[in-house]
Amino acid sequence: MGAEILNVAEFFFMTLALGIGLFTWIASPKLTGAGFQKLINSVCLGSVSIGFLIHLSYGTLTDPVSRIYYIAIAAFFLIRQLHKDEKTIFMWVLFVVHNLAMLYLLMDFQNGWSTQYRFGLSSAILNGIITYAMILGHYYLVVPKLSEKPLKICVLILWAILAIKVVWSSYETYQNWGFFKEFTQLGGGYAFNWLMLTMRVGWGYVVIFAMSIFTWKLVKIRSTQSATGVLYAMTIFVFVGELVSAYLYFKYGLLI
């Protein structure tokens, strides 16, 4: 398996765990019950565990990065096992611990506090907020009286990070326009480069923005089940978009 494929896979699961974990505060456990916190942290735990297994394909069980993985895994596991209907100080401490651990892992993976790190963080936020909202939407079946406010917050955060990502990707595309000129020998060639760019922008930005508008309208009229269906589709599209983006970075160095 190519090194860039391993990098893409570890990066994806790492940023997914980080992104979801950053937003577990949005829906109060007083409103959802402890079950939702257990569910959302189980997703984070699974994602970071897969990332760790990929890391072991080139790392060791005792290297410094593995030790940080252990801290993140332990924090997610303890929250999953011990969370009650009210968030205690200990839960907040674990929340801080797993976020600091995941931020460190991403920083180490992206070679320090760099443009690449900040781009990776933006990908984590975009991946995380959509996936979190999708899982939260399913929980309205468990707690029908749950306020729609948490979903509205998710959409607002999504729009903010999407705006940043679109501007960033547009600038990066302009700076590397040589990849997209006819007869270019850069990257995978003219047709392949345009295919990747079209998938990244079309599925990763345009479709997501259009669907987010529908989500907002559905949430406003409390049609949470329909909104969840849209969020489910958005999750698939954001995964594809961010995987294409990660491939373009690890293969060709493009932050699109």
Does domain 1-109 bear CATH number 1.20.120? yes
Domain edges within the chain: 1-109, 145-256
| pLDDT level of residue 1 (50, 70, 90 thresholds) | low
CA 188 – CA 199 distance, rounded (Å): 15
pTM: 0.94
Neighbours of 185 (CB within 10 A): 9
CA 40 – CA 125 distance, rounded (Å): 15
Structure tokens that stand for 220 in this block: 């406003």
Average pLDDT in the 177-203 region? 93
Average pLDDT in the 50-76 region? 96
To the nearest 10 degrees (0 to 180), the angle between helices 89-109 and 3-22 is 150
Largest CA distance in the chain: 61
